[in-house]
């Protein structure tokens, strides 16, 4: 990039830069930035508490749904409803690995786990994906078995009510878990919400099967069950992809774009190098390289690193810490030609 292109790019982003600086200043007035490590711990604790509240409430709702369905299973003898009840009970129990992960995530970093225990959520996500896979296999087995071994269903009205209750309970829990998971950045909680949604679809299969049985279509229940199994597999794919990306340190490219824009508008930053981000539990950490004037002192370079860290934390959602490395270019040469790699870095968390 020559100097003309560099100036043109900065000119084209002048308005955006003024808005970014204004937002940065307002952010300091409304929520002053702190470099105290305790502030980061408080943030992690708060998101963990929010996740735990979601899990407990979900467990209560699904537990009540399971009890209602179990009573109707005893009355009607419906095998399909029994399978749905087992699914709901299993979904409620997925709160256990997530709850353990949230509790572990509260533990402070130490000399062995220097980034803390946030990765426990990713391990919980693997368990949840495995549970979804087992549920889909069970749903497929039940559907095929019912197709080859038709069974009569009694008390169809009770079965229909139980199916509706199961769907409403699971869908409410799914929406709540997914919404909370995305808000606090927990891929595992989002995957768990998708799992609840699969059980809601299973409940609909029970409802449609009961409707078909009511009009004499004994094949309706297993056929609908197979269709719902296909839907569960699609949701399994989405959940597995989300957990896989988190395990592979994948981030939304839009976050990198936001970080680049923020750094380009820090006074004294001549250019930017590589930017790296990763999720640790439900918070982000970043590393960035910036190019500064070679005549800067070490103190000035460090001050620029701190300013760049401020800009990143205020611009990128859920970013709690950033390490900024400063490099300088030879006088009169292109800023991209890095001669030295100074470790004047800011690693202070929010």
For 61, how many CA atoms within 13 A lie in the half-sphere containing its CB? 23
pTM as predicted: 0.65
For residues 336 and 240, the model is more confident at 240
The pairing of strands 338-342 and 271-280 is unpaired
- Provide long-range contacts, Cβ within 8 A and 24+ apart, for 25-31: 27/314
Domain membership flag for residue 213: yes
Question: What are 279-312's pLDDT values in tens digits?
Answer: 887 789 999 999 999 999 999 999 999 999 999 9
Domain membership flag for residue 314: yes
124 with 217, same domain: the answer is yes
Domain membership flag for residue 327: yes
239 with 275, same domain: the answer is no
65 with 196, same domain: the answer is yes
Q: What CATH number is attached to the domain comprising 242? A: 1.20.1510.10
Query: Of 217, 247, 277, which residue is a domain's last?
Result: 247
8 with 63, same domain: the answer is no
Domain membership flag for residue 347: no
- The Cα 285–Cα 152 span in angstroms is 57
Query: Of 222, 247, 272, which residue is a domain's last?
Result: 247
Instruction: Report the number of distinct structural domains present in the chain.
Output: 2
191 with 291, same domain: the answer is no
Domain membership flag for residue 348: no
Q: Is the pLDDT of residue 131 over 90?
A: no
Question: What are 92-101's pLDDT values in tens digits?
Answer: 777 788 788 8
pLDDT of amino acid 119: 86
Q: Is the pLDDT of residue 341 over 50?
A: no
Q: Is the pLDDT of residue 315 over 90?
A: yes
Mean pLDDT of the chain, nearest integer: 75
Residue 207 CB neighbours (<10 A): 22
Domain membership flag for residue 349: no
Instruction: Report CA torsion sign: 191, 197, 198, 199.
Output: positive
Q: What CATH number is attached to the domain comprising 330? A: 3.30.70.1350
83 with 202, same domain: the answer is yes
73 with 100, same domain: the answer is yes
260 with 306, same domain: the answer is yes
What percentage of the chain's residues is helix, strand, coil (to nearest 5)? 70, 10, 20
Query: Of 247, 278, 303, which residue is a domain's last?
Result: 247
pLDDT of amino acid 86: 73
Domain membership flag for residue 350: no
Instruction: Report CA torsion sign: 304, 306, 311, 316.
Output: positive
Question: What are 203-258's pLDDT values in tens digits?
Answer: 877 777 777 777 777 777 677 777 777 777 877 888 788 888 888 989 999 999 99
Q: Is the pLDDT of residue 32 over 70?
A: no
193 with 282, same domain: the answer is no
179 with 225, same domain: the answer is yes
- The Cα 8–Cα 4 span in angstroms is 6
Query: Which of 71-85, 105-119, 129-143 shows the highest mean pLDDT?
Result: 105-119
290 with 178, same domain: the answer is no
312 with 191, same domain: the answer is no
Cβ-contact 77, 154 below 8 angstroms: yes
Domain membership flag for residue 179: yes
Q: Which domain holds residue 60?
A: 37-247
DSSP for 169-229 reads HHHHHHHHHHHHHHHHT-HHHHHHHHHHHHHHHHHHHHHHHHHHHHTT-TTHHHHHHHHHH
């Amino acid at each position: 990039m020559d100097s003309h292109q560099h100036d043109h790019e900065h000119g084209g982003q002048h308005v955006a830069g003024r808005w970014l600086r204004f937002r940065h200043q307002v952010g300091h007035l409304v929520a002053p930035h702190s470099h105290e490590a305790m502030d980061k711990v408080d943030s992690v604790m708060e998101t963990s508490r929010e996740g735990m509240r979601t899990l407990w409430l979900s467990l209560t709702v699904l537990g009540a749904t399971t009890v209602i369905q179990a009573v109707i299973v005893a009355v009607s003898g419906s095998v399909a409803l029994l399978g749905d009840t087992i699914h709901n009970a299993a979904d409620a129990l997925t709160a256990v690995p997530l709850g353990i992960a949230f509790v572990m995530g509260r533990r402070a970093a130490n000399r062995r786990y220097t980034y803390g225990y946030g990765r426990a959520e990713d391990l919980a996500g693997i368990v949840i994906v495995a549970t979804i896979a087992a549920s889909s296999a069970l749903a497929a087995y039940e559907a095929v078995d019912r197709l080859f071994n038709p069974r009569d269903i009694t008390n169809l009205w009770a079965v229909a009510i139980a199916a509706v209750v199961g769907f409403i309970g699971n869908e409410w829990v799914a929406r709540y878990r997914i919404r909370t998971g995305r808000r606090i950045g927990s891929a595992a909680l989002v995957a768990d919400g998708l799992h609840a949604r699969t059980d809601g679809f299973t409940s609909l299969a029970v409802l449609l099967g009961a409707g078909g049985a009511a009009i004499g279509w004994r094949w309706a229940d297993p056929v609908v069950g197979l269709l719902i199994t296909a839907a569960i597999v699609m949701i399994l794919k989405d959940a597995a992809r989300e957990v896989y990306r988190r395990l592979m340190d994948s981030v939304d490219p839009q976050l990198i774009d936001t970080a680049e824009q923020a750094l380009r508008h820090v006074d004294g930053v001549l250019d930017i190098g590589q930017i790296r981000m990763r999720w640790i539990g439900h918070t982000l950490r970043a590393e960035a390289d910036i190019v500064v004037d070679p005549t800067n002192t070490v103190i000035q370079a460090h001050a620029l690193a701190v300013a760049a860290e401020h800009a990143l934390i205020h611009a990128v959602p859920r970013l709690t810490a950033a390490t900024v490395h400063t490099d300088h270019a030879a006088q009169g040469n292109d800023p991209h030609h890095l001669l030295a790699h100074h470790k004047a870095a800011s690693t202070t968390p929010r």
